[in-house]
Structure formats: C-alpha cells, structure tokens
Amino acid sequence: MELIIGKNYEDMSKSAADIIAELIRLKPNCVLGLATGGTPIGTYKELIRMHIEEGLDFSGVKTFNLDEYLGIGLDLQKPYTQDQSYARFMHEELFKHLNIKKENIHIPDGLAKDPQKFCSHYEEEIKKAGGIDLQLLGIGGDGHWAFNEPGSSLYSRTRVQPLSKQTLEDNFESFYKKSGIKKEDMPHFAITMGVGTILESRHALMIANGKKKAEIISKALEGSISWEVTATAIQLHPGKTTVILDKDAASKLTWTAKE
C-alpha cells in the first residue's frame, strides 16, 4: 500500500486528482469508480480545473458510481437542496463541468422498478466495460465503504442495503438538516456496490481528511480485518492500493508516528 500524507485538504485533493489525471492521460478510455460525499469535492474541483485549463479529456472515460439512495433519482427541475440524489450531486459537482459523454456515466438507479434486478445489471455493466481501473473511495464514520455498513460481507456484491444508525445521523448532520428535511423522511436504504465488487478494481484510491476520520482510518489501516469496519477490506485488495490523508486524518496511525 502506498500512503501519502498531505498537509491539508487541498493537498490531499490535489494528490488524488493528479493520480486520476495520470491514468486518464495514459488510458483515455479508462473506467473510473467514483464516490460522493464531502471528501471528494476538492478532488473533483481539481479535475474540473485540469479539464478547463489543461485540456484533460474525459470524452473516452467511463464512470461507475458507488451508490445511490433508494427511492430518489435525478430531478433537475428541483433546486439542488430538494434533490438529494447522488446522481444530482455528481452532475453538479463534476459531470456538468466536463466533456464526459452521458452514455458513459453509470450511477445506481434509486428509482429502479426492480432494484435487485438492477443490481445484477449494474454488475454486468461493470464487467462489460472491462472492470474498474481506478476506484475512488471515501470512508464513513462507521468505517463503511460505499454503503457497505457494518456487518456487510467482504465478498458482497452490488445490492440493496439498509443504512446504519450512524450513517443516518452523519447524513442528517452533513446535508439533510440544512435542507429542512426531517430525519424520519430521509431514505433508510441504498443501492451500493459490494465490498467484493470494489476489491476487483485494479487500483483502489482511498481519501480521508479531518480529525473526525482519524480513529476510523487507524482502524481501517491498522486494525483487524472485519466486517464491522468494511474499509478494513483495503488490507485485502490484491491490486494497487493508495491511501491519501491529510495530517489530521493520519494523526492516529502508529506506523507514521514511528517514522
């Protein structure tokens, strides 16, 4: 595993964007796995800057997002605050600023009539695209990868998953509270790529920042592999693995303290 510790959030974001951009330049038709949440926003901003100022070309790039809430989907007629879909997030924070082709963007369909069938279809689409070259990952407060909540099998595939109490709490604090939505009206289920699906990516790139992620990062990287913290599966990733942190998120790692 390669561990990069940046000075701050901007540093972390820039290093992550540089790795993604290098792949796009080397393999213009690469397949990227993408994440939502607060952590990757800086990385996406930097990729957008590279596209505008340096001509980084996304026209051949294919993307697969990790997850989507069940019961909601992209509604561009609604203001941003009323459409909490991850599809909307990706559109606003990344895709609308790039020359990526619409047909190359894949996001789990939260409005699928038959969600279980959709999950198998999503797995097939990933296979058809030749697998994921690079999967960008954040980490949840409870150690989840995508929405693989504690108790998810480390062999799990794309499926419907109930959200944990902590994830509901985190999501409420970080987003829903501001948009005036009541806790009980938040989606309680999601479609998520499985841990097994993620582990098949050729390069796993996990990013985390801030003191509030320090404890869970130390568990994920240095703790025992367990379905209680699904991000510990990073220790099992057979391909290339890169973890990029800021100083705060790295502050509880014992390895780096020894250096």
Listed ranges 34-42, 52-60, 114-122, 245-253: which one lies at the site for ligand F6R (CB under 6 A) = 34-42
The half-sphere exposure of 62 on its side-chain side, counting CA atoms within 13 A, is: 16
Q: How many CB atoms lie within 10 A of CB 147?
A: 27
Please give the structure tokens belonging to residue 200: 């098949």
What is the rounded distance in angstroms from the CA atom of residue 16 to the CA atom of residue 135? Answer: 11
Q: Which of 38, 130, 151, 162 binds ligand F6R (CB under 6 A)?
A: 38
CA 31 to chain CA centroid, Å, is 14
Q: Could you say whether residue 36 binds ligand F6R (CB under 6 A)?
A: yes
Per the annotation, the verdict on 57 as an active-site residue is no
Residues 171-190 that bind ligand F6R (CB under 6 A): 174
Positive or negative, the CA dihedral 157, 143, 66, 63 is negative
Listed ranges 33-41, 46-54, 109-117, 241-249: which one lies at the site for ligand F6R (CB under 6 A) = 33-41
Please give the structure tokens belonging to residue 231: 């991000």
Q: Which of 146, 198, 249, 250 binds ligand F6R (CB under 6 A)?
A: 146
What is the rounded distance in angstroms from the CA atom of residue 231 to the CA atom of residue 137? Answer: 9
Nearer to ligand F6R, 27 or 183 (CB): 183
Q: Could you say whether residue 115 binds ligand F6R (CB under 6 A)?
A: no
Which parts of this chain interact with ligand F6R (CB under 6 A)? 35-39, 66-67, 138-140, 144-146, 174
Q: Which residues are catalytic?
A: 67, 142, 144, 149
